[in-house]
Amino acid sequence: MHGAGTNPGTTKNRPYSVVLDITRLVSRVGRGPLTGVDRVEMAYLNWCLSDRSEPVYGLARIAGGYVVLDRAGMSTFRAKLRGEVPWGKPDFRARLGVKTSKERGAAESDLRRLAIARSSKASLPDIPLTQGVYLNTGHSNLSATSLSGIKRTGLKIATLVHDMIPLDWPQFQRDGTVRRFEEKMRAAAAYSDLIIANSDGTRGRIEHYFGHWGADPFQVTSHLGVDIFNEARPLSGNNRPYFVTTGTIEPRKNHSLLLDVWDSFEAEIRPDQIPVLHIVGQRGWKNEDVFQRLDSLQGKSWLYEHNDMDDAALKHLLAGSHGLLLPSFAEGYGLPSMEAAQMGIPVICGELAIHHEVLGDYPVYADLQDIYLWKKRILEQAKQRQKDLVYANLAKKPKIPTWSEHFDAVNAAVAKLF
């Protein structure tokens, strides 16, 4: 799996044992580049393996039940995720799995071979810890059954909540996902000893819903880290400027606004002077109108759609751009905007609280209802030299959170549980 090399940075030793839930990473095998939540779980996996001061185990739910990996098994699993070691051959159970992809079947087969303990779906396997913390960062296994089983082992439970968007914006969600998300959050509220919020904005929404449900677990805000982009910045030598937008092509991301902007450009600007728009992300759900528009625009010299671009290629593309465009109606954290700011790439975005919280006055803010303002801001950026834009933004970029700072805050919060 490409793009899975998040570096946790240098942080203080972890003074407690950990069981890390890696179910989400297992579920992503064979499904393309990692999403934002996947990358966070990968960062936690890297962090857990980099600190050898205390024991660490991995828990995963796979077809038929659960498996537990020790440190060696987790290291092998990570190497296979990164593509450094090939997946093994599917075992008999995987070959029987008609609903399981070949890639995931091979991954689950390897997990069964690597496991130090296994169980059916009815109960958790024996975890060789009675003290320490179960960390859930991917929202998998957030159920009363799983979390009550963890509680019975004596472990504390720490859950990282990325956002409450499915409850705040149900109209943008796939059928059935709102109910399932609420069930997960209710379980997290009932059983977690610690809730890790990725921003103050997310924490406020957690407190709103958890309070309504009568739950009040200990909470901490810890901004997610951003990997440092060390490659030489490929400043664009192309006279035709380009912009990038990234994220699953689903209604919340508001790609329709950008397509409206570029439709206007076509009517007002010579074809060879229209800035190029790169749309990076897989096609999602409830967005048939946008999909049809994208299909009808194939062959336009100003539009490129990338459905399978890994992290390294995306950063390279961003580094040569005139800006990152984020017209989303809602964001839990927005890692791409942080990564763009870290590189000095301009960001044009809507007036969302998370952007103000972590980026301050770095972005160019534009009202999502004002297409004229978006056109104006984009053309203003396009007329400048990309080199000047980048250097000007590097001079004013905000303090970018690091993974080291994130994990230090997590360590301090977990220490209060004992």
Domain ranges of the chain: 18-225+403-415, 242-396
Same fold, 18-225+403-415 and 242-396: yes
226 CB-side CA count, 13 A: 22
Per-residue pLDDT, 237: 53
Per-residue pLDDT, 30: 87
Which token pair is 142? 């957030």
Choose among 197, 194, 180, 191: nearest CA to 213: 191
Order of strands across the sheet that contains 364-365: 303-306, 276-280, 242-246, 324-326, 347-349, 364-365
Per-residue pLDDT, 101: 81
Cα(163)–Cα(166) distance, integer angstroms: 8
Cα(39)–Cα(86) distance, integer angstroms: 20
CATH class, domain 18-225+403-415, is: alpha beta
Provide φ and ψ at 66, rounded to 5°: -125, 155
Query: Long-range contact list for 332-337, CB < 8 A, 24+ apart?
Result: 332/162, 332/163, 332/165, 332/198, 332/199, 332/202, 333/36, 333/162, 333/163, 333/198, 333/199, 333/202, 333/223, 333/224, 333/358, 334/358, 335/36, 335/39, 335/224, 335/226, 336/36, 336/246, 336/247, 337/363
Cα(138)–Cα(9) distance, integer angstroms: 20
Fold (topology level) of 242-396: Rossmann fold (3.40.50)
Q: What is the dihedral of CA 34, 38, 44, 49, to 10 degrees?
A: -50
Quote the distance between the C-alpha of residue 33 and its chain's center.
Answer: 11
Per-residue pLDDT, 36: 85
pTM of the model as a whole? 0.91
Cα(33)–Cα(43) distance, integer angstroms: 15
Residue pair 287/321 in contact (Cβ under 8 Å)? The answer is no
Which residues lie below 8 Å from residue 134, measured CB to CB, with a gap of 6+? 18, 19, 21, 59, 150, 155, 156, 157, 158
Residues in the chain: 418
Per-residue pLDDT, 2: 39
Per-residue pLDDT, 112: 94
Each residue's pLDDT tens digit in the chain (418 positions)? 434 445 555 556 788 999 999 999 999 998 888 888 999 999 999 999 998 889 999 999 998 899 999 999 999 999 999 999 999 998 878 887 667 788 888 999 999 999 999 999 888 999 988 899 999 999 999 999 999 999 999 999 999 999 999 999 999 999 899 999 999 999 999 999 999 999 999 999 999 999 999 999 999 999 999 877 665 455 555 568 999 999 999 999 999 999 999 999 999 999 889 999 999 999 999 999 999 999 999 999 999 999 989 888 998 899 899 999 999 999 989 888 998 999 999 999 999 999 999 999 999 999 999 999 999 999 999 998 888 888 888 888 899 899 999 999 999 999 999 9
Choose among 306, 355, 354, 417: nearest CA to 202: 354
Residue pair 85/39 in contact (Cβ under 8 Å)? The answer is no
